């Protein structure tokens, strides 16, 4: 390759990379624009991992291109040729140990964040709980503390850690709001917990992230973060103006379909628990202890959930509580 | 009875579903007519049966695997084109949701199980016995059974698109979506039964090649004198033997759920879908190493050959192969960090997954230092190998990113993940096996594939690859999930998807150039008269191309890792290429048999019966299976001898006496 064309290609590659990086700052790159502590921790970890990996791969790529250029088989190539040279203890020790060190460092960061994310992101604020049921192909949100329910959107107060308790009354799905933070699966017969928090008012895109069949592409929802007072206003407004969610309504929601949003002033008592129970929760050891689940007391709720409610997380939760 | 007929065509032939089905029907009919007509016109039926369908020769079986893999790559690629066409613009209705779901399911399943697997088995079969100085594999009859089980499994899977409907729950097939409650159709049964049938064949292949390599090496070929491709087959075979039974169990239990009405994977009677997810990935993750390890083996052979230098750090290379195969069993849960496992479990699997990067990184450095102070020539096998290196480095880097559990909460099921696994699976197995195909093609067929057309294919496929998959990383950060059949306009996903689709077309074009290259080279390709077109290093290049039926007239004694290369350096390669006529003895060979083919066919019939719960048909198939087994049990006369005189004649005709 001639020097000039190398330069030209270099310029092109730089331009493309620069464009990619700049566009990475665009607001549509949801994962790069977290609005809460969970998403921010995850983004920090993403950046840390990229830097650590780059320490290894950038020099490796440089060495690669150098070698294939320097040792190409052209007449008159003066570079050294030693066809039998095939061992070097020193070199081997170097490239066994570099990746070990990098992986070691990255492991520490990974472990720290993994454990941190099982705790509420804010310790000094009373958390709230929202019970989420994924249906074919819609999302039902129940507020045990407020007594209201919504479909395909949920309103949360800013600055308050929210424990989303997740289950499914349909095939497995996954609850993902990229700007708030990473996802967790919803599974029939189980309740799983996911801590998220929004620090900025706004509307955030959410979507089911695990394939559930025909209507999956239209399985989106919106999380609306509002100030505490706006949130309370919304709750009382919903309570006074929206219709109640009856069992008949729920059974209708359960049928496979897609729909817009809906609000309900109340929901049948114990609906969330009953759904878990009847979808197989009764066979899961530990589910019986979900005492606080539908107590309506959000503080008690989150504690009991953390202790024993999250069925197949029982062992993990207790270890993180220690 | 037109009403009954209409019911049949609507239910089973799905003619009410529109032009996609009609076009497929027409194409299948035309292809079948074409094949039948050609065979009849050239009077080749007998030849097909005697020389190919009943063959137990590893070289023939390898070639059949290769042809099947290329056909399946075409099918899976056509699926990919349809998917990318649908996603080129927002709110598109080129495909319906139902068809899109079926097509992404068949794309994934075919590419992994019916393209990558036969491709590695093609390499196993074509290369291993020649490389270790053997006359065939340990169990040639079983080898034929493996092939026909794969073949008829693949047929059963492929027929679903035009008969009864394809599976549509993704290649991972998670319950409860795949349980009767949500999925009544026969599509899922097609998936379960065809994978089951071909999976039995895969387990047998793993056993066969491990036994072959352990027991049938030429005298003097100690384990640490084996070529690295053979070592990679050892590693892959071990993984196959331990991983595939998990898939067999998962599929069998899900099939019982669907056919008999058990509840292994529904919560409703105390089963647990998580159990399927675990079993699936206990197979599924090792599976990706099953397909990538042989590719690593190919790269090791190619790099040493085209850098004209001994492989660097042979011991490390062997150790890392084995280490990867061991670690592969401790990473499966990274496929579901987001399914509520505890922080301790997630941390364990995150660290284990990152650890895969250590031996893999070591391999990359050793390849680099094999080229360092070598003399690199850029022929097609080397070109694909060189393209693999940076590509796989980036894919490996994003792999480590994905292994970071909390970061994975944001990547999981997004297009970031899609970009990652396509990058490692295309740069690894696909580039590796294409490199292997070019490398050993002369050994299989006696001619080289055309260099010029090959270069065009190479650049198209490679540039197309980056254009197709780099934007998908970005789409993941933009929050786009996998398996959406369409997307809204307001998310900023359109441009990147369009670019990705253009890239996919370029890759498709690259594939077509490979096809053109093969067709062109059959007629005009450079003939390989020496048997050693690349200045090779290992035993297979000491044989004529293509190798005679019995491979080695006299089994050589091995004294070095790069046997042929060392002999060449010492000017003694004649010892391998000139046979002493007195040393030739009668050669003991297995007889051909039509039974493996018939057994595969019987499995197909049984599988087809179970798919539709047509039990009479299923029983007929199973009886056929039992019958072929019983007949085999009472077969005493399944071997014969090629007389020394005959071997001498063949070798003399090849100019090797």
Please say whether the structural domain B44-577+584-653 has been given the CATH code 3.40.390.10. no
A60/B365 Cβ within 8 A: yes
B478/A29 Cβ within 8 A: yes
Residue A263: pLDDT over 60: yes
Q: How many residues does chain B have?
A: 657
pLDDT tier at B305 (50, 70, 90 boundaries)?
very high
Choose between A280 and B604: higher pLDDT.
B604
A83/B309 Cβ within 8 A: yes
User: Tokens in use for A92?
Assistant: 């081997």
Determine the pLDDT at residue A293: 41
Sign of CA dihedral B220, B223, B224, B226: positive
Determine the pLDDT at residue A21: 60
Determine the pLDDT at residue B185: 82
- Identify the CATH assignment for A128-313 out of 3.40.30.10, 3.40.630.10, 2.60.40.420, 3.40.190.10: 2.60.40.420
Determine the pLDDT at residue B63: 97
Determine the pLDDT at residue A5: 61
CA of A219 to nearest chain B CA: how many angstroms apart? 9
Tracing tokens 């890392």 back to the chain, one arrives at B320
Which residue of B334, B372, B418, B537 is the best one to mutate when testing the A interface, meaning the one whose CB has the most A CBs within 10 A?
A: B372
List pLDDT tens digits, range A59-86. 999 999 999 999 999 998 999 999 999 9
Choose between A297 and B171: higher pLDDT.
B171
Are the CB atoms for A121 and A197 separated by under 8 Å? yes
Lowest mean pLDDT: which of A25-39, A284-298, B438-452?
A: A284-298
Q: Where are the alpha helices (DSSP H) in B374-493?
A: 380-403, 405-411, 415-425, 431-445, 451-477
**ω into residue B516 within 30 of 0, thus cis?**
no
CB pairs below 8 Å between A and B: how many? Answer: 296
How far apart CA B256 and CA B7 sit, in angstroms, is 28
Task: Choose the closest CB to A92 out of B313, B368, B377.
Answer: B313
Give mean pLDDT, residues A297-320.
37
Determine the pLDDT at residue A319: 36
Decide if A44 touches B, using CB distance below 8 A. Answer: no
Determine the pLDDT at residue A4: 61
CA of B488 to nearest chain A CA: how many angstroms apart? 9
Residues of B in contact with A212 (CB under 8 A): 177
List pLDDT tens digits, range B159-184. 998 899 999 999 999 999 999 889 88
Residue A11: pLDDT over 90: no
Give mean pLDDT, residues A183-198.
95
SS3 of residue B417 by DSSP: helix
List pLDDT tens digits, range B14-28. 888 888 889 989 999
Give mean pLDDT, residues A21-27.
67
Q: Give DSSP secondary structure letters for A276-298.
A: HHHTTGGGSTTGGG-GGGGSS-H
pLDDT tier at B505 (50, 70, 90 boundaries)?
very high
Share above pLDDT 70 across residues of chain B, in percent, rounded to a whole number: 100
Decide if A82 touches B, using CB distance below 8 A. Answer: yes
Residues of A in contact with B371 (CB under 8 A): 67-68, 71
Give mean pLDDT, residues B571-582.
91
CA of B272 to nearest chain A CA: how many angstroms apart? 9
Nearest residue to A174 via CA among B92, B631, B174: B174
Choose between A20 and B115: higher pLDDT.
B115
pLDDT tier at A294 (50, 70, 90 boundaries)?
very low
Give mean pLDDT, residues B535-557.
95
Determine the pLDDT at residue B572: 92
B345/A316 Cβ within 8 A: yes
Q: Would the ipTM clear 0.90, i.e. be above it?
A: yes
CA of A314 to nearest chain B CA: how many angstroms apart? 8
Decide if A90 touches B, using CB distance below 8 A. Answer: no
CA of B261 to nearest chain A CA: how many angstroms apart? 17
Determine the pLDDT at residue A316: 37
Determine the pLDDT at residue A321: 35
List pLDDT tens digits, range B407-417. 999 999 999 99
* Spans of all domains in chain B: 44-577+584-653
Choose between B246 and B7: higher pLDDT.
B246
List pLDDT tens digits, range A235-258. 999 999 999 999 999 999 999 999
Decide if A32 touches B, using CB distance below 8 A. Answer: yes
Which residue of B342, B368, B414, B483 is the best one to mutate when testing the A interface, meaning the one whose CB has the most A CBs within 10 A?
A: B342
Are the CB atoms for B546 and B528 separated by under 8 Å? no
Residues of A in contact with B340 (CB under 8 A): 184-185, 187, 190, 192, 310, 312-313
List pLDDT tens digits, range B98-150. 999 999 999 999 999 999 999 999 999 999 999 999 999 999 999 999 999 99
**ω into residue B491 within 30 of 0, thus cis?**
no
Secondary structure (H, E, C), B464-522: HHHHHHHHHHHHHHCCCECCCCCCCHHHCCHHHHHHHHHHHHHHHHHHHHHHHHHHHHH
Residue of B nearest to A215 (CA): B97
Share above pLDDT 90 across residues of chain B, in percent, rounded to a whole number: 92
Share above pLDDT 90 across residues of chain A, in percent, rounded to a whole number: 76
Which residue of A13, A28, A55, A166 is the best one to mutate when testing the B interface, meaning the one whose CB has the most B CBs within 10 A?
A: A28
The rounded mean pLDDT for chain B is 95
Residue A310: pLDDT over 90: no
Determine the pLDDT at residue A287: 52
Residues of B in contact with A216 (CB under 8 A): 97, 483-485
Residue A298: pLDDT over 50: no
Give mean pLDDT, residues A96-104.
95
């Amino acid at each position: 390759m001639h020097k000039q064309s190398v330069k030209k290609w270099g310029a092109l590659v730089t331009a493309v990379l620069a464009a990619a990086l700049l566009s990475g700052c665009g607001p549509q790159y949801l994962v790069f624009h977290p609005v809460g502590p969970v998403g921010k921790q995850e983004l920090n970890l993403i950046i840390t991992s990229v830097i650590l990996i780059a320490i290894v791969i950038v020099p490796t790529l440089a060495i690669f291109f150098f070698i294939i250029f320097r040792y190409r088989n052209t007449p008159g190539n003066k570079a050294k040729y030693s066809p039998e040279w095939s061992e070097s203890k020193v070199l081997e020790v170097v490239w066994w140990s570099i990746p070990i060190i990098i992986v070691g460092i990255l492991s520490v960061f990974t472990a720290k964040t993994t454990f941190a994310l099982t705790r509420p992101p804010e310790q000094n604020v009373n958390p709230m709980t929202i019970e989420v049921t994924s249906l074919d192909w819609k999302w039902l949100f129940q507020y045990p503390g407020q007594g209201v329910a919504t479909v395909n959107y949920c309103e949360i107060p800013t600055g308050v850690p929210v424990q989303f308790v997740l289950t499914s009354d349909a095939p497995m799905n996954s609850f993902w709001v990229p700007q708030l933070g990473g996802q967790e699966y919803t599974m029939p017969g189980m309740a799983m917990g996911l801590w998220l928090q929004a620090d900025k008012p706004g509307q955030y895109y959410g979507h089911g992230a695990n394939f559930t069949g025909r209507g999956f592409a239209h399985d989106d929802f919106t999380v609306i973060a509002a100030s505490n007072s706006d949130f309370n206003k919304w709750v009382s407004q919903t309570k006074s103006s929206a219709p109640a969610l009856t069992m008949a309504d729920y059974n209708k929601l359960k049928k496979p379909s897609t729909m817009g949003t809906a609000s309900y002033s109340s929901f049948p008592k114990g609906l969330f628990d009953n759904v878990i129970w009847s979808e197989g929760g009764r066979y899961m050891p530990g589910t019986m202890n979900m005492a606080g689940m539908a107590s309506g007391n959000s503080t008690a709720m989150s504690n009991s959930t953390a202790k024993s409610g999250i069925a197949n997380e029982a062992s993990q939760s207790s270890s993180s509580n220690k | 009875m037109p009403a009954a007929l209409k019911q049949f065509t609507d239910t089973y032939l799905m003619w009410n579903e529109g032009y996609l089905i009609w076009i497929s029907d027409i194409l299948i009919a035309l292809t079948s007519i074409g094949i039948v007509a050609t065979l009849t016109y050239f009077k080749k039926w007998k030849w097909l049966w005697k020389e190919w369908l009943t063959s137990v020769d590893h070289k023939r079986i390898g070639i059949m695997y290769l042809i099947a893999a290329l056909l399946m790559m075409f099918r899976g690629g056509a699926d990919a084109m349809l998917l990318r066409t649908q996603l080129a613009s927002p709110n598109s209705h080129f495909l319906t949701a139902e068809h899109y779901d079926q097509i992404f399911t068949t794309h994934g399943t075919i590419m992994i199980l019916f393209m990558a697997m036969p491709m590695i088995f093609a390499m196993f079969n074509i290369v291993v016995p020649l490389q270790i100085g053997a006359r065939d594999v340990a169990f040639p009859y079983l080898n034929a059974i493996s092939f026909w089980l794969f073949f008829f499994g693949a047929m059963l899977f492929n027929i679903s698109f035009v008969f009864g409907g394809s599976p549509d729950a993704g290649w991972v097939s998670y319950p409860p979506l795949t349980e009767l409650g949500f999925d009544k159709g026969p599509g899922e049964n097609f998936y379960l039964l065809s994978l089951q049938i071909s999976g039995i064949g895969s387990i047998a292949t793993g056993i066969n090649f491990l036994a072959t390599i352990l027991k049938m090496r030429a005298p003097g070929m100690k384990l640490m004198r084996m070529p690295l491709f053979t070592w990679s087959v050892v590693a892959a075979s071990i993984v196959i033997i331990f991983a595939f039974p998990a898939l067999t169990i998962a599929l069998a239990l899900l099939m019982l759920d669907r056919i008999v009405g058990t509840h292994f994977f529904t919560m409703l009677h105390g089963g647990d879908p998580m159990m399927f997810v675990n079993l699936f990935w206990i197979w599924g993750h090792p599976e990706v190493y099953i397909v990538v390890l042989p590719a690593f083996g190919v790269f090791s052979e190619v790099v040493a050959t085209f850098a004209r230098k001994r492989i660097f750090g042979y011991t490390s290379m062997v150790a890392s192969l084995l280490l990867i195969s061991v670690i592969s069993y401790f990473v499966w849960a990274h496929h579901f960090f987001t399914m509520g496992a505890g922080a301790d479990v997630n941390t364990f699997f995150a660290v284990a997954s990152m650890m895969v990067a250590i031996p893999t990184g070591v391999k990359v450095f050793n390849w680099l230092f094999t080229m360092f102070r070598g003399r690199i020539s850029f022929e097609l096998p080397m070109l694909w190998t060189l393209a693999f290196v940076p590509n796989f480095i980036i894919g490996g880097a994003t792999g480590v990113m994905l292994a970071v559990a909390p970061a994975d909460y944001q990547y999981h099921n997004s297009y970031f993940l899609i970009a990652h696994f396509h990058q490692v699976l295309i740069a690894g197995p696909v580039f590796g096996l294409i490199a292997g195909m070019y490398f050993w093609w002369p050994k299989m067929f006696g001619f080289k594939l055309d260099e010029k057309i090959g270069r065009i294919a190479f650049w198209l496929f490679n540039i197309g690859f980056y254009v197709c998959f780099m934007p998908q990383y970005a789409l993941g950060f933009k929050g786009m999930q996998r398996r959406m059949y369409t997307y809204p306009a307001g998310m900023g996903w359109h441009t990147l998807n369009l670019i990705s689709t253009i890239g996919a077309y370029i890759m498709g074009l690259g594939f077509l150039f490979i096809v053109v290259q093969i067709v062109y080279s059959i007629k005009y390709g450079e003939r390989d008269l020496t048997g050693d077109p690349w200045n090779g290093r290992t035993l297979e290049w000491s044989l004529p191309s293509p190798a005679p039926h019995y491979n080695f007239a006299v089994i050589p004694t091995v004294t070095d890792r790069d046997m042929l290369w060392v002999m060449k350096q010492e000017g003694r390669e004649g010892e391998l290429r000139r046979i002493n006529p007195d040393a030739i003895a009668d050669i003991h060979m297995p007889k051909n048999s039509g039974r493996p083919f018939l057994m595969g066919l019987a499995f197909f019939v049984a599988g087809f019966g179970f798919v539709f719960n047509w039990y009479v048909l299923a029983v007929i198939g199973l009886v056929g299976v039992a019958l072929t087994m019983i007949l085999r049990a009472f077969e005493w006369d399944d071997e014969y001898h090629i007389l020394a005189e005959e071997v001498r004649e063949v070798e003399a005709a090849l100019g090797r006496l």
